Chains A and B, each alone.
Chain A
Amino acid sequence: GQQLNQSPQSMFIQEGEDVSMNCTSSSIFNTWLWYKQEPGEGPVLLIALYKAGELTSNGRLTAQFGITRKDSFLNISASIPSDVGIYFCAGLPNTGNQFYFGTGTSLTVIP
């Protein structure tokens, strides 16, 4: 199946810092989704992207659909302790109807 590579695998940052993470694939995707998962809970949808080049914000979160359609980026501005969790990207390939998930970026925010 498809493989989505997320980087970095983990991040330890100070409260107030900005965060950037990305997700890349070897093939073209039509849709990118970004989720956040906290311990003991299911993933929560943060942002959905449907067009190459699209830039969408949700509060302090901003995500972009890469122009090549093989990558996506998530930025978090002015991080706060409640941003802690694992962030997953998910993508829908140009062919097929199955979403594939990345391996996640674990974010720790130090107060």
Chain B
Amino acid sequence: EAGVVQSPRYKIIEKKQPVAFWCNPISGHNTLYWYLQNLGQGPELLIRYENEEAVDDSQLPKDRFSAERLKGVDSTLKIQPAELGDSAVYLCASSAGTRSGEQYFGPGTRLTVT
């Protein structure tokens, strides 16, 4: 069974440019998460989807961040415009359900904003 797929793995952009990250969850997982991980820290939730509905986006900086999961499968996270402080690893995870517990992570996208 394929794991969570993310692309790109690395991205370097200049500040004020837009950037997008893509995630394909494990087949059959209806819950999808986007996390931000700063160096030396644990992942912090940005947004959680149940199928195509964003059920928890309270920590998503909505002035510059947006996300979508149109058909309840793949998801895209966008930043526009990017700031220097957005440099981090963006992790996608999926699970069979919110309270099932077992979240499986993709390899992440390492973003560097210069």
Residue positions of A touching B, CB distance < 8 A: 4, 30-31, 33, 35, 40-45, 48, 50, 88, 90, 92, 97-99, 101-104
Q: Which interface class (under 10, 10 to 19, 20 to 34, 35 or more) fits B?
A: 20 to 34
Classify the secondary structure of B's interface with A.
Answer: mixed
Chain A residues with CB under 8 A of B67? none
Q: Which B residues form the contact surface with A (CB < 8 A)?
A: 4, 6, 40-45, 48, 55-56, 91, 93, 98-99, 101-108, 110
Which residue from chain B places its CB closest to the CB of A9 in the assembled complex? B40
Q: How far is the CA of A48 from the CA of B43 in the complex (A)?
A: 17
Contact between B107 and A48 (Cβ–Cβ < 8 Å)?
no
Residue numbers in A under 8 Å from B104 (CB-CB): 45
Beta-carbon contact of B99 and A92 below 8 Å = yes
Is A31's CB under 8 angstroms from B42's CB?
A: no
Other than the given A42-B93, A43-B43, A98-B45, 14 more pairs (CB < 8 A) read A31-B99, A33-B101, A42-B4, A42-B105, A42-B106, A43-B105, A45-B104, A97-B48, A97-B98, A97-B99, A99-B103, A101-B43, A102-B42, A104-B40
